[in-house]
Structure formats: C-alpha cells, structure tokens
C-alpha cells in the first residue's frame, strides 16, 4: 500500500540510534525528531495556533475522544474538519481516546468489544470500540490517526497486561479493516507494559499489520525513570527503521534526550504547559520554581538567552506575582515559555545530531537538570 505520508531518514548518528528525518504529510513537512504539543480539546491550553507557529511547532495532537464528547466530531466535520475548526493548516494527529477512557474518573468497565466509560457531561454510559474510534477520527480529518488500544497501568500484573495486549492486537486488526479514509494514515500502538516478551509480541504482530508508523504506548504511566528508558530503548530497537516511531505521552528534557538516543522521531506531552501553569519554568541552567520568594524582586527574564515573547517582555518578578495570585496571564506566559523552550531544545538536538555531537550536548544539558523533573 502506498502511504499518503512519506518518511525518510536524512542523517543517522554514528554513536547512538538518534536520527534526523523528514515527514511529508498532506498538510506540510515535519522535521524529526520533533516535539508534538498536545491540543487535547483542539487547543494547546492558553496558546493560540499563531503563537505555536511562531515558536516553531510543526505538528499537534488532538484527542478525538474529548471532541466526540463535545462538541461532537460530526459537527466539526460539518464545519470543514479539524484543521479549519482550530485554524491550524499544518499536520495533525488524533489520538483514539483509549487512554482517556480508562481514566479512573471516567472508566466503567472493559471487555473484548471495547471500553465503557461514564460521560462527565451527563453521566450516561458510552462505549468506545474500534469502529467508533475510527469514525470519530475520520470525521475530524487529521493527517495521522491511531488504532484503538488499551493502556494498562504500571501496577497491573503480567496476566492482566497479557490479556490487555490481546485486546489491543485484536482491536488493531479491526481498526485496519474499518479504516477506509484514503486521506489519512493510521499508526498502530505498541503495548505490553514493562514486560519485554509482551512488547516483542506486540511489535511482531503490529509489523505484520504493516501500519504507516508505530506509537509506543503504555510508557511513563507511573514506572520509574530507569524502566521508562529501558523499555523505550528495547521497543524502539524492534521497530522497522524506515517507519515513524512515536513515543506517546513524554515531554521532560531528560526523557526527550533518552527517547532521541533510542531512535524516537516524535514525542508528545502536556508536561511543558502543565508545568508552566503550576509555576515550574525551564531555563538553560535548569528548572525554576517561579513561585519561590527569591524571585519576587528579580528583574531578569526566566532565561536570558531565550527569545520567546515572555522572556523578551517580562521579568521573573512579574511572573512570580502573576502565578502566586493565579492570574491567567501568568499561567499563559509560563506555558508559552515552556513550549518554546522544548521546541528550541529539540531544534538544538537536531543540530547536534547533524554536527556529530549529540551525546556531548545531552551531557551538557542534563548536567543542569539531573532528576529534578
């Protein structure tokens, strides 16, 4: 099958599995490795799409589950599709909603046919299954959609994770049969928890289905950092080198470096925006808790070398004042800075790979971050 998206590796690092690639989609090019800001409900919290473009974002991920709940994917389709609805004429991914539906706040039950959840809007029980998940995403019209999966908690035992993987693999087969929209490509999601034999089984089955790319799911769901890195490296190494590798749900500087070193091309997370809204901002000298009293009279920007709107116009003292008083502007300025910082970090990583100094740059940055985040 000829995919609508084209992915090619342009440079491979000589000492690690890091690589520079280029993804071509119907809505433009994405340079990889790339951080994917999370626009859960068709918005990256507090930021406009123009601001995201200005800071170098090239692709966003939106959650089809939430848009199904409100305003409804049929409505968005009638309004011209997701790109037009959110004013983003660049590449888009939609997630299937499996992770959200298993949230303890929403979860009702799960079986082989799908996931049952309680709507937070009216309390009614609904089901998300492969057919519904694909229909929602077809309605939205993103460039890349995800096959339905179940994401088990880190604390689940081997037998449960094995059963969960059986469901995910069965749903992947169904999703492939159901998806008929030739304007979109589908990624399969690799599951299997922290169990390497299950991860291997998942990769082998997903490769047989020949998806356009592969998401690594069920990572950074409560496990310690060393396991995150180990499972990411192990799983990425099993995936085909000529297909996209997408690590879902990670976004701290530490994990980004480990992911890139393992050969990951895309990674998404709410971490930068959420951290900013709660008062943690990133700098080249390490993370800063902007609510700390020592910044109350600090006239410096968050990061003197940062070129984002926040750093060019406002002081740490002003951010401290706004965040301490829970002013929306403070949360917005902090989130804007953090997303800009991560996007700039990934640009620098691509440059370091190109110049053959990736590990040197990794050591330089992480010496200032340690295990704080």
> What is the model's pTM?
0.96
Rounded to an integer, the average pLDDT of 244-256 is: 95
User: Which of 13, 143, 149, 268 is the catalytic position?
Assistant: 268
User: Which of 13, 95, 143, 303 is the catalytic position?
Assistant: 95
Q: Higher pLDDT residue, 102 or 278?
A: 278
Q: Which domains does the chain have, with CATH numbers?
A: 8-269 (3.20.20.105), 277-337 (no CATH)
1: pLDDT confidence band, cut at 50, 70 and 90? very low
Report CA dihedral (202, 203, 204, 206) to the nearest 10 degrees. Answer: 80
3: pLDDT confidence band, cut at 50, 70 and 90? low
Q: Is 148:129 a contact under the CB 8 Å cutoff?
A: yes
d(CA 231, CA 210): 22
Q: Is 319:333 a contact under the CB 8 Å cutoff?
A: yes
Rounded to an integer, the average pLDDT of 67-72 is: 94
β-strands 92-95, 144-146: how paired?
parallel
Range with the poorest average pLDDT among 2-16, 63-77, 313-327:
2-16
d(CA 17, CA 358): 11
95 is catalytic: yes
268 is catalytic: yes
């Amino acid at each position: 099958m000829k995919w609508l998206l084209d992915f090619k590796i342009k440079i491979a690092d000589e000492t690690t599995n890091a690589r520079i690639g280029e993804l071509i989609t119907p809505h433009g090019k994405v340079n990889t490795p790339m951080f994917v800001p999370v626009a859960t409900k068709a918005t990256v919290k507090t930021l406009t799409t123009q601001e995201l473009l200005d800071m170098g974002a090239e692709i966003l991920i939106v959650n089809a589950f939430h848009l199904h709940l409100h305003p409804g994917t049929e409505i968005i389709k009638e309004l011209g599709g997701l790109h037009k609805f959110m004013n983003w004429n660049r590449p888009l991914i939609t997630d299937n909603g499996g992770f959200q539906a298993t949230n303890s706040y929403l979860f009702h039950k799960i079986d082989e046919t799908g996931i049952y959840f309680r709507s937070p809007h009216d309390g009614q029980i609904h089901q998300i299954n492969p057919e519904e998940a694909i229909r929602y995403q077809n309605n939205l019209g993103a460039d890349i959609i995800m096959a339905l999966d179940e994401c088990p908690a880190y604390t689940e035992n081997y037998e449960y994770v094995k059963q969960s993987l059986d469901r995910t693999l069965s749903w992947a087969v169904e999703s492939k049969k159901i998806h008929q929209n030739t304007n979109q490509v589908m990624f399969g999601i690799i599951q299997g928890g922290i169990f390497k034999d299950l991860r291997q089984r998942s990769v082998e089955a997903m490769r047989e289905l020949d998806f356009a790319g592969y998401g690594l799911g069920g990572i950074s769901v409560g496990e310690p950092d060393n396991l995150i890195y180990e499972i990411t490296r192990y799983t990425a190494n099993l995936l085909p080198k000529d297909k996209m590798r997408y690590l879902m749900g990670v976004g701290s500087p530490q994990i980004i470096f480990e992911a890139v070193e393992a050969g990951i091309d895309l990674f998404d997370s709410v971490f930068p925006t959420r951290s900013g809204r709660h008062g943690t901002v990133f700098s080249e000298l390490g993370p800063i808790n902007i609510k700390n009293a020592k910044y109350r009279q600090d006239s410096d920007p968050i990061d003197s070398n940062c070129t984002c709107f926040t750093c060019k116009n406002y002081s740490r003292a002003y951010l401290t004042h706004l965040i301490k008083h829970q002013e929306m502007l403070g949360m917005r300025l902090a989130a804007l800075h953090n997303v800009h910082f991560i996007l700039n970090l990934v640009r620098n990583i691509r440059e370091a790979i190109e110049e053959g100094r990736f590990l040197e740059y990794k050591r330089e940055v992480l010496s200032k971050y340690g295990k704080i985040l």
